[in-house]
């Protein structure tokens, strides 16, 4: 057997063991979901439902739909459709995040630069130009190709079909009153519906997660555009039917086996649909099922210290932002929020505030990126305003455009007027998530370090964890000096994907050129390293953290890596690495410098000087003492 075939066989064997270890309860849920998905691919066909039949999917006993019921009683389907459209355009409840009467006040709070950027982005969409994350923009000369996948990047295709730009068009319309944005929204949505009939085998219905996201953006688009003159009855009916199809599909295929951010966010979308479109007969079921699943997963996935269990700051931000949106809708409609959910959200906000670097950016821990269409809100600012935590006012960013539309003018005005004692962003431990934040001062140039001594991802589904135990990210002088690279991409090839998941891509020690944990394909992990905290001390003058992991005990002659970090406030850090065990091994201690670093090495003292900040600021990495067995090298990527 060739080495390549041997590795493939070994990976298959490990995958089988991982699946078996999940237990019979998981196997039952997963296989039932697969069977249900296969059956529904052959029987679920609500897309072709005639509009007359579709009208029967509304709860015509509701007083608001009395005109529809009366018209249907006279077999006047055109009048019934008109009555339905009028009802949805003019209704005053349920209460969304904003009302038509609040639009002018909201626009007043939006920064002019953000308004201009939104209008520019909307104009690009009107010309079929689409930008997602850091990829090159794509222009469709004719109609949009909804299955277009540039260079095999499925993330781009999913972003195109998430329709986040519907919200961009909607905001641009409120700022300008330009009907072009309404017309483009209608054109794109009708084209998408015509070219993407519901089918589990169809590309844009293959991911239940993406179906849930579209529900979010369609709901916002409806509330931006519903009072536009061109938002006529015919389009309203097509929109509602499309939304209904999404609700039926999500309810039928919700990923009960994917008990991570997928199930949580899908449940949130289902609940939102049921809350905001109670006219559907299925709405009460969608609402109750969605909320029940969401509350269950929040309590399971959010640790007592507020850290989301997937050990990726990106997913923490996504879930905190989406939970904030739901809480706003619940509060606006006077629906009680369970105290445990409220408290969990407050802890999530705390973690996001404390882990944010002095320059306002989030460290990219685990599978994290600076840009993503699901990063819709900043919970650090929006959550503080929602919870009326004015003590955080001096340490959070001003609410951005998305937060202003979400929270409405009254909450923001009240928050800005209220004063209270300010919180001090001192060093803080988040022991359940395994993050330890060392910081001193509140300025953008303040020193900051976040140390990772936690688990590899979320145990039930560790797909977004990295082999980064005992790694850290360091910030000072207004810039990140030692970086965590975050995610490369899940759809851009296994080699680079796993390099960024691996230990060499982090600021930690690599033994025998192996990762701490065995990475399988682009999602799985076998024998993940177990990190252990030995001590955490914080004081006015110093911080100290001491942790270890057992990832390399799997070697024939196993070793343990232990790292101690001592922060002498506010001057410098001392990092002590100890590797103990038996046998002979190679050890590589990686430090990933800022991208613009100018590096100088003194081979005699083995000191590394890296500069590149304002006024030539930077850092010095100096071994204490120099060792004849140590070699210092600089590697540069492209």
Q: Is 393 helix (H, G, I), strand (E, B) or coil?
A: helix
Any idea what the CATH number is for the domain that residue 559 is in?
Answer: 2.70.98.70
Tokens for 93? 């409840």
Tokens for 239? 């929109």
Same domain, 15 and 134: no
pLDDT classification of 6: cutoffs 50, 70, 90: low
Across 144-153, 539-548, 626-635, least confident range: 626-635
Residue 492: per-residue pLDDT: 72
Same domain, 35 and 96: no
User: Dihedral, CA atoms, 241, 245, 246, 251, nearest 10 degrees?
Assistant: 140
Same domain, 602 and 496: yes
Using a 10 angstrom Cβ sphere, with 0-12 exposed, 13-18 middle and 19 or more buried, the burial of residue 104 is exposed
Same domain, 105 and 35: no
Residue 357: per-residue pLDDT: 96
Residue 453 lies in a domain: yes
Per-residue pLDDT averaged across 593-619, rounded?
86
Q: How far is CA 141 from the centre of its chain?
A: 32
pLDDT classification of 162: cutoffs 50, 70, 90: very high
Q: In angstroms, rounded to a whole number, what is the distance separating the alpha carbons of residues 150 and 138?
A: 9
Percent of the chain at pLDDT exceeding 70: 97
Same domain, 444 and 572: yes
Across 48-52, 120-124, 363-367, least confident range: 48-52
Same domain, 26 and 113: no
Per-residue pLDDT averaged across 237-245, rounded?
95
Residue 384 lies in a domain: no
Any idea what the CATH number is for the domain that residue 192 is in?
Answer: 1.50.10.100
Name the phi and psi angles at 201, rounded to 5. Answer: -90, -5
Please, are residues 507 and 471 in contact by the beta-carbon 8 Å criterion?
Answer: yes
Please, are residues 509 and 589 in contact by the beta-carbon 8 Å criterion?
Answer: yes
Residue 380 lies in a domain: no
Residue 414: per-residue pLDDT: 94
Per-residue pLDDT averaged across 213-232, rounded?
96
Tokens for 287? 């609402």
pLDDT digits (tens, 9 = 90+) for 176-185: 999 999 999 9
pLDDT digits (tens, 9 = 90+) for 69-118: 999 999 999 999 999 999 999 999 999 999 999 999 999 999 999 999 99
| Whole-prediction pTM | 0.94
Residue 303 lies in a domain: no
Per-residue pLDDT averaged across 29-50, rounded?
70
Q: Is 508 helix (H, G, I), strand (E, B) or coil?
A: coil
Count of domains observed in the chain: 3
Same domain, 27 and 175: no
Residue 63 lies in a domain: no
Residue 1: per-residue pLDDT: 58
Tell me the CA distances in angstroms from 104 to 141, 224, 416, one per residue in order.
36, 13, 18
Tokens for 205? 């219905």
Average pLDDT score over the chain: 92
Per-residue pLDDT averaged across 352-378, rounded?
94
Q: In angstroms, rounded to a whole number, what is the distance separating the alpha carbons of residues 424 and 447?
A: 15
Same domain, 604 and 484: yes
pLDDT at 477 over 80: yes
Residue 202: per-residue pLDDT: 87
pLDDT digits (tens, 9 = 90+) for 383-436: 999 999 999 998 998 999 999 999 999 999 999 998 877 788 999 999 999 999
Q: In angstroms, rounded to a whole number, what is the distance separating the alpha carbons of residues 66 and 88?
A: 13
pLDDT digits (tens, 9 = 90+) for 533-546: 999 999 999 999 99
If we measure between CA atoms, which residue out of 106, 96, 52 comes closest to residue 226? 96
pLDDT at 46 over 70: no
Residue 124 lies in a domain: yes
Same domain, 151 and 17: no
Same domain, 443 and 583: yes
Same domain, 22 and 157: no
Identify which has the larger pLDDT, 582 or 2.
582
Residue 368 lies in a domain: no
Please, are residues 502 and 487 in contact by the beta-carbon 8 Å criterion?
Answer: no
Q: Is the peptide bond before 625 cis (omega within 30 degrees of 0)?
A: yes
pLDDT at 43 over 50: no
Residue 184 structural domain:
92-234+249-253
pLDDT digits (tens, 9 = 90+) for 14-33: 777 777 777 887 877 878 87
Residue 566 lies in a domain: yes
pLDDT digits (tens, 9 = 90+) for 491-502: 777 888 999 999
Q: In angstroms, rounded to a whole number, what is the distance separating the alpha carbons of residues 495 and 400?
A: 37
Please, are residues 526 and 513 in contact by the beta-carbon 8 Å criterion?
Answer: no
pLDDT at 580 over 90: yes
Residue 616: per-residue pLDDT: 76
Same domain, 115 and 11: no
């Amino acid at each position: 057997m060739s080495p390549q075939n041997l590795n493939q066989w070994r990976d298959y064997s490990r995958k089988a063991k991982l699946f078996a270890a999940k237990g019979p309860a998981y196997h039952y849920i997963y296989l039932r979901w697969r069977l249900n998905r296969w059956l529904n691919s052959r029987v679920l066909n609500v897309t072709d439902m005639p509009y007359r039949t579709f009208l029967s999917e509304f709860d015509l006993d509701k007083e608001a739909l009395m005109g529809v019921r009366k018209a249907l009683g006279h077999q006047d389907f055109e009048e019934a459709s008109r009555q339905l459209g009028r009802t949805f355009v003019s209704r005053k409840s349920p209460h969304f995040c904003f009302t038509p009467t609040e639009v002018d006040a909201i626009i007043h709070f939006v920064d002019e630069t953000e308004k201009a950027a939104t209008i520019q982005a909307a104009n690009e969409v009107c010309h079929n130009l689409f930008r997602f994350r850091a990829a090159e923009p794509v222009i469709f000369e004719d109609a949009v190709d909804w299955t277009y996948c540039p260079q095999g990047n499925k993330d781009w295709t999913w972003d195109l079909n998430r329709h986040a730009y519907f919200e961009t068009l909607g905001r641009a319309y409120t700022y300008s009153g330009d009907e072009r944005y309404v017309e483009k929204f209608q054109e794109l949505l009708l084209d998408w519906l015509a070219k993407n009939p519901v089918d589990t085998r169809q590309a844009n219905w293959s991911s239940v997660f993406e179906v849930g996201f579209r529900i979010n953006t369609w709901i916002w688009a409806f509330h931006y555009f519903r009072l536009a003159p061109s938002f006529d009855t015919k389009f309203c009916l097509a929109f509602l039917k499309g939304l209904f199809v999404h609700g039926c599909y999500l309810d039928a295929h919700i990923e009960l086996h994917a008990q991570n951010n997928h199930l949580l966010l899908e449940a949130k979308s289902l609940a939102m649909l049921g809350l905001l479109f109670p006219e559907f007969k299925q709405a009460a079921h969608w609402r109750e099922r969605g909320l029940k699943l969401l509350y269950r997963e929040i309590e399971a996935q959010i640790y007592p210290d507020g850290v989301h269990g997937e050990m990726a700051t990106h997913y923490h931000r996504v879930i905190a932002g989406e939970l904030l949106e739901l809480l706003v809708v619940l509060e606006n409609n006077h629906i009680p929020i369970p105290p445990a959910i409220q408290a969990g959200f407050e802890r999530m906000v705390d973690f996001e505030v404390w882990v944010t670097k002095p320059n306002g950016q989030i460290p990219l821990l685990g599978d994290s990126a600076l840009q993503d269409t699901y990063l819709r809100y900043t919970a650090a600012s929006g959550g503080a305003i929602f919870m009326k935590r004015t003590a955080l006012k001096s340490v959070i960013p001003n609410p951005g455009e998305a937060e202003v539309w979400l929270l409405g003018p009254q909450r923001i005005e009240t928050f800005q007027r209220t004063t209270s004692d300010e919180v001090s962003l001192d060093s803080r431990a988040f022991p359940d998530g395994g993050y330890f934040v060392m910081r001193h001062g509140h300025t953008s140039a303040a020193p900051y370090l976040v140390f990772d001594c936690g688990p590899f991802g979320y145990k039930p589904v560790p797909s977004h964890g990295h082999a980064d135990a005992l790694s850290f990210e360091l910030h000072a002088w207004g810039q990140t000096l030692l970086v965590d690279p975050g995610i490369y991409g899940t759809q851009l090839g296994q080699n680079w994907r796993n390099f960024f998941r691996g230990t060499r891509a982090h600021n930690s020690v690599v033994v025998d050129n192996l990762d701490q944990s065995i990475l399988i394909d682009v999602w799985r992990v076998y024998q993940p390293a177990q990190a252990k905290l030995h001590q955490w001390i914080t004081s006015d003058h110093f911080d100290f953290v001491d942790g270890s992991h057992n990832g390399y005990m799997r070697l024939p002659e196993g070793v343990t890596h232990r790292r101690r970090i001592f922060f002498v406030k506010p001057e410098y850090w001392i990092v002590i690495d100890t590797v103990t065990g038996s046998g002979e091994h190679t050890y590589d201690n990686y430090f990933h410098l800022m991208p613009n670093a100018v590096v100088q090495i003194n081979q005699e003292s083995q000191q590394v000087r890296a500069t590149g900040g304002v006024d030539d600021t930077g850092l010095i990495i100096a071994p204490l003492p120099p060792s004849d067995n140590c070699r210092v090298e600089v590697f540069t990527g492209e």
